[in-house]
Structure 1
Amino acid sequence: MLRNIDPILSPDLLFTLAEMGHGDEIVIADANFPAASMGQRVIRAEASNATDMLRAVLSLLPLDPYVPEPAVTMQVVGDPTAVPEAVAAFQQVVSDCADKPVRLGSVERFAFYDRARAAFAVVQTGERRLYGNIILTKGVIG
């Protein structure tokens, strides 16, 4: 055990976050997300939900201030302006916990999948709310 590190951050996830560089992306995904077919590295965290995982990751990972949208979610198919419950919760976590809070961006489902395939890692949570997926772009620590 380590002090001041959320216990839902497994050793594998801590190592992955430390390996990431400026501009690398990480996906926090819900239980329905096709992580095994999308991710270069998949970290399983089914005992956590996506908002708790987001809060834990943001306690260590700075968001990239040099990209227009360092945190993006997947748009609802057929209703791109809808804000699902999970996405509203993500915005609250980012507003409360990010080193530099931002408004979440959103991308179309298949564009989200393309970014997920290129992401450094995917964290598969046990999140049951639909559209409980977010991509974070890592910034720098000054």
Structure 2
Amino acid sequence: MLRHIDPILGPDLLHILRSMGHGDEIAIVDANFPAATMGKRVVRLDGVTATHAAEAILHLLPLDQFEPEAAFVMQQVHAPDELAPICVTFQEQVRAASDGRFGVRSIERFAFYERAKTAFAVVATGESRLYGNLILKKGVIEP
């Protein structure tokens, strides 16, 4: 065990987070997402919600301050102009982690899939809420 690190972040995921560079992206996805198909590197967090995974990752991962947007969610097919309830939670988490600098940007479902394919890694959670998918762009830690 390590201090101040959520125990859901095992050695594989910690290695991925540490290996990521500035501008790399990580996708946190729900149980319905085709993670094995989309991900170059996939870490499974079965039994963990996507919001819990996002909270733990955002505690460690700086967001890219050089970009206007650093967090992306999947648009709802039936209501593209509305954030899914879980995405509202993601937005609150991102705002808190970035001291209000960032919210989330909603992108079309297939555009989200294409972006996830290029992500450094995919974190497959046990999230059962629909549209429980979030992509985060890593920033730098300034001295």
TM range, smaller chain: over 0.9
1:100 to partner: Cα distance: 5.8
Query: SS at the partner of 2:60?
Result: coil
Matches within 5 A, 1:21-36: 21-36=21-36
1:97 to partner: Cα distance: 2.7
Q: How many residues align?
A: 142
The 8 Å contact of residues 63 and 100 in structure 1, kept in 2 or not, is answered as no
The 8 Å contact of residues 83 and 106 in structure 2, kept in 1 or not, is answered as no
Using the size of structure 2 for normalisation, the TM-score is 0.95
Identity %: 57
Query: What runs of 5+ residues in structure 1 fail to find an aligned partner?
Result: none
For residues 62 and 99 of structure 2, what CA distance do their matches in structure 1 show? 6
1:78 to partner: Cα distance: 3.5
> Equivalent residue for 2:5?
5
Q: What letter matches 2:98 in structure 1? A: A
Query: SS at the partner of 1:59?
Result: helix
1:96 to partner: Cα distance: 2.1
Post-superposition CA distance 1:95-116 (Å, at most 9, x none): 2233664111111011100010
Post-superposition CA distance 1:80-104 (Å, at most 9, x none): 1111111011111112233664111
Query: What runs of 5+ residues in structure 2 fail to find an aligned partner?
Result: none
Post-superposition CA distance 1:45-100 (Å, at most 9, x none): 01210111000001110000112210000001142111111101111111223366
> Equivalent residue for 2:128?
128
Using the size of structure 1 for normalisation, the TM-score is 0.96
Between 95-104 and 74-83, the greater mean CA deviation after superposition: 95-104
> Equivalent residue for 2:62?
62
